[in-house]
Structures are given as C-alpha cells and as structure tokens.
A = this chain, B = another copy of it.
Amino acid sequence: MHMVRVTIILIISVAGLFNNARAQDCKALEGDWKNELGSILVINQISTTGQLIGEYKSSSGVDGKVFPLLGWINNYNTDTGGVVSIAFSVKWKGYSSITSCTGTCSNDEEGPKIKTLWHLVRPDQEFEWERIIANSSTFRPLSR
C-alpha cells in the first residue's frame, strides 16, 4: 500500500518535468504560438536586453511562406501582476509590407496568451490614406 502511493507521486513528478520543459509562458516566451487565424508566431530567442528574434508563418494571403520578425519584450515593471509588454514586426519579404504587433503576454483561465493590436503597412495602395490596415490578434501556445 505504501509502495503504491510513492510510485504515483513519482509519475506525477516526471510528467511535470516534461511539461515544464515544453510549455511556453510569459516568463519563457520561446516557442511556437498560434493565433485565431492559424498563423504561427515562432519566438526563437530573447536576448538579455529583451530583443526578440523569430519567424512568422502566415495562414492567409502569402502561400504559407516563412517571414523574419524582430522586436522587444519589456518585463521591467514588477507591479503589473506578471503582465509583460511584447512587440514584434514581421517583414513580408517578397512583398512590400511590414506588420507590427503590439501588446501583452498575460495569463487567463485558458493559460498564457499574447494579445496584440497590429498595424500592417502596404505602400502599393492607390491612396496614401489607405496604406495602413489595423486589427487584433491573440496567440496561444501551440500544443505539440
């Protein structure tokens, strides 16, 4: 009886370790995140100064190619209840556009989320006033 209980505790611990090794969260953002349209934000590296480097795989309008991105995280303030500022820009190589996403990483009942507003600039539009489109995008950890 005593032996069985110990075994169960060990299994839970091992599962916890594997889980920790895989799950991205707002303290360790590196990994793959997916938004509501199925696009994938890959955060490859965050430097000690907060520089963020990664790739973006859009699900819409660009034939599934991969595009480079860079940006920042800012977790200076510890009064924010664990909320981290994040911003990144995607260069749409082979097109003339750039998208900048700006927002936060925080936790809700479903887990960590990167919630952003974005601006996409498209210089090939007829009128100057129609060159920037705006919208929102929320990313969740991609389960592997």
Contact = CB atoms under 8 A, between A and B. Distances in A.
Contacts of A75: 96
Contact of A92 (B74, B91, B131): B74
A93 B119 contact: no
B123 A129 contact: no
A41 to B, nearest CB: 15
A16 interface: no
User: Interface size class for chain A?
Assistant: 35 or more
Contacts of A128: 104, 106, 115
A135 B124 contact: no
A55 B102 CA distance: 19
A64 interface: no
Contact of A80 (B87, B101, B115, B123): B123
Contact of A104 (B87, B104, B121): B121
B121 A87 contact: yes
Contacts of A132: 102-103, 117, 133-135
User: When A and B form their complex, which 8 residue pairs have the shortest distance between CB atoms, in order from nearest?
Assistant: A77-B96, A136-B136, A134-B134, A102-B119, A83-B123, A100-B100, A80-B123, A72-B91
